[in-house]
Structure 1
């Protein structure tokens, strides 16, 4: 539980009860995300906009097993390994009825918005409509990487890459590396630009040859640029770098406003795409993981228990952690 900026506790809380249409999950694995860190520091915009407040139980990248069900839920769900959508729309508004529940004005977001308790706990209750079954070929680590994978896959879809297209990914963190993996699986020539020596080393260890700092970046025609960074200046940089008639995808969020000159978008005839959530990409991500087309397990540097989360949020890396940017939590240890 986050009780205030840079304040946290591991608390005993009442176990969730499956309400009608809901299930209770025994959480087996959850990921710590940059959004969780923003809540920890107090910088997350939802705190200032009134969409979230302390105390808050975070955690929105998860997998587990259905332990119990509420009224109206098919008993066949009990015992199934699942992951789930973060975005929980109202189900009755115009956006939800059009299949856009992830941008519902009245939505809850698991562990993020509206006080909906997150997955950094032994158990989590969610609507059955949010569930995505996991086949046996998607293990616990992969299952908890479905949510970030969905964001990355949607970003690649937004770039509309053709075989052999040259893609530049800005920001080789979890999302950026997942973007690179999905794009490579689609046959694109993938390059990544970053700053952190560890993240650049990780990208190279994953088999990407085109890994650059901004000063080293070669002058090449970039058919698409995907900004997966949190740097305010890079959205404009992405627009400057992309080829005329190319596509720019914005999936990263900076802590302060990013300014883009719309005249450049028009004069270069560029298509700009924004990606908010994984929701429309979750099923496709499970399919690609299950088929072995993309295997992001090397991104997970370490797995800790609930008592280790505070240190991770504060920026510490667990002893013996690998190169990867992602830390997982197993609430059973």
Structure 2
């Protein structure tokens, strides 16, 4: 399997990325030789995508289907995480049983409404769209050759359900939770992922870096793995600092987490602009957008555009993590 750092193009693979955001999946896909068209309904995320030169359709994914991308052999997707994330209302987590039941209805080819009765339910139901696209492509006898999905860890039961459905349709599927710092990202973000392949055996990418643990020195651990990446490693322009988390545990501001610049960042959320950065010399400020993007492993010249850039960054999948996912899906 080519290294995730390889730049050898694939044989003209084309992909469609549902809920494409600012390009966390699309940037590494392009480096691996895959041409991606992203569907994204946020005008601000689309502004950033266009500034970065990424093929973009500004629309709701429910207005399209695999028949509109007949040359796409790869399906990518990261549905909105807000209903399922720990920082959200929890409505999506409470609805997991309903989503699993609806997924089985889709698999049986029974009708399932694409829109919910409330804005929140409507957002939750978007997690069904990647499965709907995969099944529609199968029914049209043009199945996607590879599928890559990612979401917050709470969605793993949904991915496991999709895995069973896709295996019954002839796919090899792997699911699990990946820790971003184990793939070189300077952040302890955890993501539930699914890789499905029509040929070969689907496996999750092996970690390249050691897991982070509070109090464990960066240089210790498995000698066959690289040290995890600290914030200081990607923000060399700053002196030593401490980050005070932008949200409290259980709503208690006194329980806000702290991370030294010699540690990876905690999960970067859409409220990253609220994180307090305390320099050792007593100066307090905030991360710039370039710095916040670096903690998500975006390149320093990524052209952040539009409004609410913090939300754009927080919603993104780290490109470095995505590169490993894509390499495992396409080259293993």
Could you tell me the TM-score, scaled by structure 2's length? 0.30
Between structures 1 and 2, the one with greater strand share? 1
